[in-house]
Structure 1
Amino acid sequence: MKLVVRVKLLPTPQQASALEATLLICNEAANWLSTAAFARRVASRAGLQTLAYAQLRALGLSAQPALHVLRKVADAYTALGAQPRAGKLGPSKSTSRASAAWKPIRFRAEAAQPFDDRCLSWQMDAGTVSIWTISGRLKGVAFTGHPEHIQLLTRYRRGESDLIRRNGQWYLAATCDVPETDENGRPDGFIGVDLGIVNIATTSTGRRYSGRRLNRRRESDRRLRSKLQQKGSKSAKRRAKKHAGREARRTRDINHKISKQIVAEAQRTGRGIALEDLGGIRERVRLRKPQRATLHSWAFHQLGRFIAYKAKRVGVPIVQVDPAHTSQECSRCHHTDKRNRPSQAVFTCRSCGFVEHADLNSSHNIASRGWQVWGRGAKSVAPALVPAT
């Protein structure tokens, strides 16, 4: 299984200047090549190498960085060509599709640049890297990261690493090929996971990950963001950008913690995990206006992906189930009725009289459906590649 691990670089001011100049030159070269490729209607790696390899070398790039620029541009056009087939650019005559089709791809000045082992070497014991720049090879660039991530890099790093600059900070994102644990082919039942707003996640074992305090914090964040957007000054925009990054990191951290605990419980008890099929969750749920922003701003899909890849690492099977009517169905007698939900938090079955917390009742239904799906021979669902940690 492939994992992408990110570590933070700690360059000196001189090293940071060299890295910044290198990233700038590489992306300027990528933009020049993108314009030439668009004009000549050439997008394959071989075609671009014939077209512009010598010119890229003349811009100051060594052989391997020049090839990486070629591949970056070719891969970008390949991805762009696949988007209409996947329905991601709208109808054939839409403005978004016309805009993408009639102008060359542009790369930001700080867009990530890949480096292979010829351009970048890791000294894990010393906690440093040696990296190619247009000013020469930089040696002894310090890096830091979570001890678990460093261990993964030391044991399983394979292939290229991407140099990233974000909000003035430098990072390296490296791919690790981690051996997979044999999946538990005979799980002792399934833990159902119900996703919600008041409770971010509720499991069929009775654990609720409350979102009340978090929702209050997010409401405060939205008010601040709205004020900054209305003000519109340069300082307000800088503050809004900084604040948005902090909010995204907080969300990611919470999703990591929740997913880790759910997977650990499933592994400890020998069970699998049943998740709701997250596709179209925002369209399926009907909410009052004050609740819509809360639902739409939470990374439900990210939480599902975190649970899936952590489960795959330890051999816990994952299945997805149809979430339709899980909140209205009684987990005891399976009677389904809208009136079974007299309030957001309470479930009362109109048929058998069973009373339970509504989210917990839903999680029991998800667990039951997960066992049924598994019994029909469904395969475990987990991603092949995880975004940078």
Structure 2
Amino acid sequence: MRACPACGTANGEDDEFCGNCGSYLGWSSRPSRNPSAATGSDGPAEPDGPAAGATAGAPAVPPPGTAPENADPVPVPPPSSHPEQEAPARSTPSPAPEPAGPPAEPAPDPAGPPPAEPAPTPELPPRPARPAPVRPEPPGEDAPVAAVQPAVPVARRPVVRPVAPDETPDGPPCPACGTPNLPGRRFCRRCAAPLQTREEPKSLPRWRTVWPFRRRVRGGSGRLLRRGVLALVVVGLLCAGFLLVPAGRYLVEDVRDKLGGTAEISPSKVTASSRTPGHPASDAVDGLTNTYWGAPALGSSLTCSFDKPFRLVGVVVHTGVSLEPKEFRQGARPTRAELIVTTADGEVREETVTLTDKPGPQTVRTAISDVVSVRLVLRDAAGQGEGRPIAVGEVEFFKRT
């Protein structure tokens, strides 16, 4: 295994790049598959022929003039100033010591019993004499000291190692060079190309790219700014609500009036300031349009009271003595009136209503809360004449449901 010098991750022997960080590991140390490359093109070649057999069968013989490898070292004495006197002593070898014989037996004692015969001692083979070391003769007095040539080194025979089979890892191929790699590697072992590529995210639909459905692409991108703006908007709305309570309430109630339903409500009591004979004030709220309340002059009023406060969203007024156009023109009819509304807390609101001079219902929107009383005062009329009362055919009130 080869360790990465950058991150220390273990890699295969034949990997050239780290599988974790993609760093270069150096050339692979795996041997070549070519048998001829085992010895090298420039290495020593094996001798062939008879000489090769002789070399293989017999030990190598050093050339003459060199000492054998297993011979005992021979000490060389230092040169002396009188070589003539020491030469005979060094040239004469000393004799080897002879092996000692068996020890002498003691003499028998004549007074004692005869000794027992000793057991025969086995004869030991004689120890071979060790030859004396041969010491070279020192050079003469006039002979120069020559350098000794070192022994020629004997090259070892090359050992042929078996080539290991190529173990191809079983894994996904590299997208760049196609080399298979082991699962879990992040970079290719041959070209260091990234193996684990990220999938590109799919494009968002159109509706996800429009605010407020827009999704953030980068984490925290503009998040603080958006939250700050939203907080400021909420605080502003709260302040505006506290400062403009009446306007805000009116706006809320108006929205509820438009979104909610309506229902007709009948007054509990109806009174009039004046009337003509045969046309009482109750004829204005009886639900019929062929009967009417007759006011003798302008300034007359019709007052309607209610038991419970309610939200008055509109008033419908029918003018004239009938819905038929011919009969409608024969009587007097109001064209302008004043609507006075009283609420439960005593507040009075006045509103001027302009009525068209034609038969049919005419709607007046009011949008007033907590109404307990409504008074209709006639201010102007059309078709007045001698013996013609101002006719109000029907008055309807509507509340919010």
> Which one has a larger percent helix, Structure 1 or Structure 2?
1
Bigger relative contact order, structure 1 or 2 (CA pairs below 8 A, ≥6 apart): 1
Larger CA Rg, structure 1 vs 2: 2
Question: TM-score band (shorter)?
Answer: under 0.3
- The normalised TM-score by structure 2 is 0.14
